[in-house]
Amino acid sequence: MVGNQEYTVLSTQDLNTTIVSNTTDHGDVTSGKSVVMYVLFTLIATLGISGNALVLFVFYKVTELRIFTNILIANQSVVDLATSLLLLFTFVPPNIEFQHLHSNHSFLAHFICKVWASEFIYWAVIKISTTNLVFLTLERYFAIVYPLEYRIKAQKRTAVIVCLAAWIIGTSTAAYFPITHYVDGDGECTKVSLSTGASVTIALIAFLSTYVFPLLIMMFVYVSIFCVLRPNKVLSSLTQVTYTASTSESTATTRLTPRNAGGKTS
């Protein structure tokens, strides 16, 4: 009996040691993955910040670049620069603790929860970037397909309006982030419990507005541009222009040839 009891105790201790060892190993793996993700996010953010900052610096220094297209490109750089900064500050630092903040500054805690901890700012900027990219694609479409109308309407004021529209649309489509987050009684930033139907609806709208609709619009635009610029059509247009020029030249030569009353040249 004593031997059996000792065997049982030893087995239990071995089992506990194994569990603790496995848990520690799992924690090390998770920690390792976190470090890799932090390094990856930091690298991406650093490249985005440096690249877009360089574009904005050139745009600021060279005033001749401030035309319609480049204004949209500069706006894209501003948005992507903000995205890189938010990627660095949203996912790399540790989570914000709301308990102490909520007990002393309730309004500030709710504001930080809805605007920052819900990742509203980050995803709003992502959607602004997507919207502005769609506008850039449409701008190229009108410049190529309707060049005359484009020259008339492509003013700096119009470009500023388009940039503002991208910010308004992108921010509006991300409005469900602050709506679905709040600070609960324990001071935790919590997501509202939604029904399955509501969750699916929100996810579907987010997927369509962020990925599907922009992709379809850009595909349509690039296919349309290809159809306008395809080689056969360009060759046909050049042939038609050459034929028209030749006809005009022949007509002008005929009119300049002197004729007598009998219809013969002297």
Predicted TM-score (pTM) of this structure:
0.70
Q: Is the pLDDT of residue 133 over 90?
A: yes
Give the position of tokens 């993700």.
37
Could you report how far apart the first and last alpha carbons of the chain are, in Å? 143
Cα separations in angstroms, 60 against 47, 53, 84, 130, 154: 20, 10, 20, 23, 20
Query: Where are the chain's structural domains?
Result: 34-236
Those residues whose C-beta lies under 8 Å from the C-beta of residue 77, and which sit 6 or more positions away, are 52, 55, 56, 59
Q: What is the pLDDT of residue 219?
A: 94
Query: Which of 159, 8, 150 shows the shortest CA–CA distance to 75?
Result: 159
CATH no., domain 34-236: 1.20.1070.10
Those residues whose C-beta lies under 8 Å from the C-beta of residue 92, and which sit 6 or more positions away, are 38, 41, 42, 45
Find out whether 129 and 83 touch, Cβ atoms under 8 Å.
Answer: yes
More confident residue, 246 or 141: 141
User: Where is 189: in which H helix or E strand?
Assistant: strand 189-191
Q: What pLDDT digit, counting tens, does each position of 195-205 carry? A: 888 889 988 98
Q: What pLDDT digit, counting tens, does each position of 83-101 carry? A: 999 988 877 665 556 556 6
10 residue type, one letter? L
Find out whether 111 and 98 touch, Cβ atoms under 8 Å.
Answer: no
CA dihedral of 30, 32, 34, 38, whole degrees rounded to 10: 180
Q: What are phi and psi of 251, to 5 degrees?
A: -65, -40
Q: What is the pLDDT of residue 145?
A: 87
Q: What pLDDT digit, counting tens, does each position of 44-68 carry? A: 888 999 999 999 999 888 888 888 8
CA distance 15 to 240: 88
What is the DSSP annotation of 89-153? HHHSSPPPP-HHHHHH-HHHHHHHIIIIIT-HHHHHHHHHHHHHHHHHHHHHHHHHHSHHHHHHH
Query: Which of 76, 89, 79 shows the shortest CA–CA distance to 46?
Result: 89
